[in-house]
């Protein structure tokens, strides 16, 4: 296990919803596109009719149990992939060590939050939406626009096109039109440098020998991320469903 992740606690399957039945998991449709695997839904529907199996709803005992009122770091510990967990912490720590202000540090801590357990495609836009009710407008803006800015060098600000992107996408990759336009818009915006600093402290070369304890950010989170008393996912905000989808990612509907 990655250092500083809280040890997971798993539910007893007997105490899960639909206990005693086979609970089938249908992958989210967006994950099936373009894969060589056929759409599994018809076969699972057949299985339901033939065997009495049901589709999973609610807690999956194979996933770490979430607290009843989950807070931001609970999603880090119990839902995010190891790479996302370490990447976000390393980026925020790099900004902190460079003496950046807390707005930049929290933006770095949250910048790829969508990749943790929800959605990779257009992750800056998804991430900005997820956090918008809980952070300043500037932080959400910076997270959204880092999506575009990381494709464009700004050598005067100290950012060159990441070597990792030549490997990820190939050296001939050109970003699409909407990303080019977003970059143009951001360049003249008053918060440009907040978003640009995300791209500067983004740790493009993943370092699996550097453990950062998330607890060092507790105070900064307390000052810059308004955690709802009901827990993320249960505050009836316009984005609560996004957080619930990470709590119960296997729900059939
Ligand atoms: Fe990113
Ligand atoms: Fe990143």
Q: What is the rounded average pLDDT of the residues 8-21? A: 94
Per-residue model confidence as pLDDT tens digits over 79-91: 999 999 999 999 9
Where are any strands of DSSP class E within the chain? 23-24, 54-55
Kindly list the structural domains of the chain, giving each domain's residue range(s) and its CATH number in brackets, ordered by start. Answer: 13-55 (no CATH), 72-247 (1.10.3210)
Judge whether residue 205 has pLDDT over 80.
no
Judge whether residue 58 has pLDDT over 70.
yes
Per-residue model confidence as pLDDT tens digits over 82-141: 999 999 999 999 999 999 999 999 999 999 999 999 999 999 999 999 999 999 999 999
Q: What is the rounded average pLDDT of the residues 155-161? A: 96
Nearest ligand, CA of residue 202? 2
Can you give the pLDDT at residue 195? 98
CB 112, CB 88: distance < 8 Å: yes
Q: What is the mean pLDDT of the chain?
A: 95
CB 161, CB 173: distance < 8 Å: no
Say how many Å lie between the CA of residue 166 and the centre of ligand 1: 15
> What are the residues whose beta carbon lies below 5 Å from ligand 2 (ion)?
112, 202
Judged by DSSP in three states, 22 sits in coil
DSSP state letters, 170-215? -TT----HHHHHHHHHHHTSTTHHHHHHHHHH---S--TT----GG
Can you give the pLDDT at residue 156? 97
Nearest ligand, CA of residue 88? 2
- For the ranges 44-58, 104-118, 162-176, 195-209, which has the lowest average pLDDT? 195-209
Q: Is the dihedral of CA 157, 119, 232, 2 positive or negative?
A: negative
Nearest ligand, CA of residue 150? 1
Judged by DSSP in three states, 116 sits in helix
Say how many Å lie between the CA of residue 224 and the centre of ligand 1: 20
Residue 38 confidence class, pLDDT cut points 50, 70, 90: confident
Q: Both tokens of residue 72?
A: 């931001």
Per-residue model confidence as pLDDT tens digits over 168-194: 999 999 999 999 999 999 999 999 999
Say how many Å lie between the CA of residue 14 and the centre of ligand 2: 39
Judge whether residue 245 has pLDDT over 70.
yes
Q: What is the largest CA-CA distance in the chain?
A: 65
More confident residue, 37 or 165: 165
Nearest ligand, CA of residue 126? 1
Burial 63-74 (b: 16+ CB within 10 A, else e): bbebeeebebbb
Can you give the pLDDT at residue 1? 78
More confident residue, 30 or 71: 71
């Amino acid at each position: 296990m990655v250092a500083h992740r809280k040890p997971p606690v798993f539910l007893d399957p007997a105490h899960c919803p639909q206990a005693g039945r086979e609970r089938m998991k249908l992958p989210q449709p967006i994950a099936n596109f373009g894969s060589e695997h056929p759409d599994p839904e018809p076969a699972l529907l057949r299985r339901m009719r033939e065997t009495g199996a049901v589709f999973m709803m609610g807690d999956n005992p194979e996933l770490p149990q979430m607290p009843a009122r989950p807070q931001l770091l609970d999603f880090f510990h119990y839902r995010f992939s190891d790479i996302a967990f370490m990447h976000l912490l390393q980026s925020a720590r790099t900004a902190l060590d460079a003496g950046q202000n807390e707005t930049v540090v929290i933006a770095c801590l949250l910048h790829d939050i969508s990749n943790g357990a929800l959605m990779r495609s257009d992750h800056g836009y998804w991430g900005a939406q997820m956090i918008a009710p809980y952070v300043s407008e500037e932080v959400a803006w910076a997270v959204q626009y880092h999506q575009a800015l990381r494709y464009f060098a700004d050598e005067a600000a100290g950012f060159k096109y990441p070597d990792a992107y030549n490997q990820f996408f190939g050296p001939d990759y050109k970003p699409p039109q909407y990303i080019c336009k977003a970059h143009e818009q951001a360049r003249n915006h008053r918060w440009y440098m907040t978003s640009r600093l995300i791209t500067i402290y983004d740790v493009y070369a993943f370092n699996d020998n550097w453990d950062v304890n998330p607890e060092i950010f507790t105070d900064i989170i307390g000052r810059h991320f308004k955690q709802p008393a009901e827990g993320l996912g249960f505050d009836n905000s316009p984005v609560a469903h996004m957080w619930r989808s990470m709590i119960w990612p296997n729900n059939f509907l």
